[in-house]
Amino acid sequence: MPGPPSLLTPALTVALLQENGFPMLTHILHAYDLQLKTAKRLLADIPDDQMCTQPNGLVNHPTWSLGHLVVSANGVGKMFGIEPGMPENWGELFKTGGTPSDDPTGMPSKAELLSELEQLHERYKAALPNVNQSVLDAETPNEQTRAYFPTVGSMVVFIMTSHEMDHLGQVAAWRRAAGLGSAS
């Protein structure tokens, strides 16, 4: 049995995901499903005309947050064989380090964002159980990113868990700033 989490290496993390028919992958995919439900709940009552507003200086509005999740996960998905499935202009609209705009012109609708996120979740869930361990063990291609996520597997788990919940947390904070309160 592995030691404390601080002793888990990327290779051991991948091995734990894949031993005995992916027991940890089952748990990660369950959490991934819950996050999609959270996204739908957070967005359900936000009027379309408010999706790009930036109340009280909160820059990352729901449109940018959801679009960014789709763009980021599409980029990481390419590392293990998932073909990108988003509109071409989204890469520029929602790139890491980009500045979200409060102008809704040319932005996708809430329905489009949720549809793309849901389709992406389905592609991840279909592909991951069949990914060869050597793919997940491979070094993360981007040198700057590699400092934080040395392997493709570590990057995949981050994108599916921490990254998605971080941005959904921003949507939850945005809701309060916009006067919508907690999602029900």
pLDDT digits (tens, 9 = 90+) for 110-128: 999 999 999 999 999 999 9
- Residue 15 pLDDT more than 60? no
User: Residue 132 falls within a domain, yes or no?
Assistant: yes
| Cβ contact 137:79 at 8 Å | no
> Domain limits at 163?
58-83+108-178
User: Residue 171 falls within a domain, yes or no?
Assistant: yes
pLDDT interval class at 8 (50, 70, 90): very low
Give the C-alpha separation, 124 to 35, whole Å: 13
User: Residue 138 falls within a domain, yes or no?
Assistant: yes
Give the C-alpha separation, 181 to 123, whole Å: 32
pLDDT interval class at 17 (50, 70, 90): low
User: Residue 143 falls within a domain, yes or no?
Assistant: yes
Q: How far is C-alpha 84 from the geometric centre of its chain's CA atoms?
A: 14
pLDDT of residue 57: 84
Of 12-26, 46-60, 94-108, 135-149, minimum mean pLDDT range: 12-26
Please tell me the total count of domains within the chain. Answer: 1
User: Residue 154 falls within a domain, yes or no?
Assistant: yes
Scanning the structure block, which residue is given the tokens 């109340």?
Answer: 55
Q: What is the value of pTM for the model shown?
A: 0.86
User: Residue 123 falls within a domain, yes or no?
Assistant: yes
Give the C-alpha separation, 128 to 136, whole Å: 10
Neighbours of 171 (CB within 10 A): 23
